[in-house]
Structure 1
Amino acid sequence: MSKVIIVKGSDRERMVENGLNALEINPYKEKVVIKPNLNLYKKPDLALIDGIESSSRELGGEVTRYDLMILSEDPVAADAVGANILGLNPLSVPHLKLAQEKGLGMARLEEIDVEEIN
């Protein structure tokens, strides 16, 4: 089962620190460089989605504040939880469905353990 941490609040530094501590990850251990299609060869050690605020799909659209960050060792699960927060079915998002089919991570919400930290 994939694990996703949602850290809520308005202090980004504290949010990242709490999320990393919950995943028991040392962000200073090594530098990770992510290149296109690298996930096919090596998954990233950490996926972090800045969910402080989001705009609509239209450029210059209305901005909604969520005041959260999403962290996971499974980038597909992190993106699936983010899609769900935005009101989307993750398996209806083409790149998430494809990523799951290729074995790059989990997009089925019922297979993702979500932990919220306030």
Structure 2
Amino acid sequence: GGSWNKSRLHSPSTHHSVVDICLYKKPSLSIIDASVALTGSHLWGANKKLDFIVASFDPVAADAVGSSLLGHDPAKIEYLARSNGVLGEMDSIEVVS
């Protein structure tokens, strides 16, 4: 088995990379398991029970809803702002429960 340095994926250019990958091959369906979220930090955060599943044919809308569930403003997340109107829309989202 091997190991890899996951922190190398979290560089200042990560937002650009996410958009570039999706421009190359746009996801057909985006699914986010938001039943339990990790908040605070990716290594030592706290679990937060959300009890949601997010699914969308629009990857921008899915990530906008996911970030909102964690209390973030999607418009302030660089890769979402860069991809809004290009890969999908985060301005007119219909949430169905």
Q: Taking structure 1 as the reference length, what is the TM-score of the superposition?
A: 0.60
Unaligned residue ranges in structure 2 (runs of 5+): 1-18
Greater RCO, 1 or 2 (C-alpha within 8 Å, sep 6+)? 1
Higher strand share: 1
Q: Structure 1 residue 107: deviation in Å?
A: 2.1
Percent pairwise identity: 37
Q: Deviations over 1:49-94 (max 9, x none)?
A: 0101111131211110112110000011000011111111110111
Equivalent of residue 64 in structure 1, options 31, 48, 73? 48
Q: Deviations over 1:4-50 (max 9, x none)?
A: xxxxxxxxxxxxxxxxxxxxxxxxxxxxxxxx834213421100001
Counterpart of 1:49 in structure 2 is 32
Unaligned residue ranges in structure 1 (runs of 5+): 1-35
Q: Which amino acid aligns with 1:62?
A: A
What is the DSSP-based 3-state SS (H/G/I as helix, E as strand, rest coil) of the residue aligned with 2:32?
A: strand
Q: Give the Cα–Cα distance (whole angstroms) in 2 for the partners of residues 47 and 37 of structure 1.
A: 16
**Count of residues in Structure 1 that have an aligned counterpart in Structure 2:** 79
What is the DSSP-based 3-state SS (H/G/I as helix, E as strand, rest coil) of the residue aligned with 1:112?
A: coil
Q: Taking structure 2 as the reference length, what is the TM-score of the superposition?
A: 0.71
Counterpart of 1:13 in structure 2 is none
Q: Give the Cα–Cα distance (whole angstroms) in 1 for the partners of residues 77 and 40 of structure 2.
A: 13
Counterpart of 2:64 in structure 1 is 80
State the 4+ residue runs in structure 1 displaced beyond 2 angstroms.
none
Q: Give the Cα–Cα distance (whole angstroms) in 2 for the partners of residues 115 and 66 of structure 1.
A: 16
Q: Give the Cα–Cα distance (whole angstroms) in 1 for the partners of residues 34 and 21 of structure 2.
A: 24
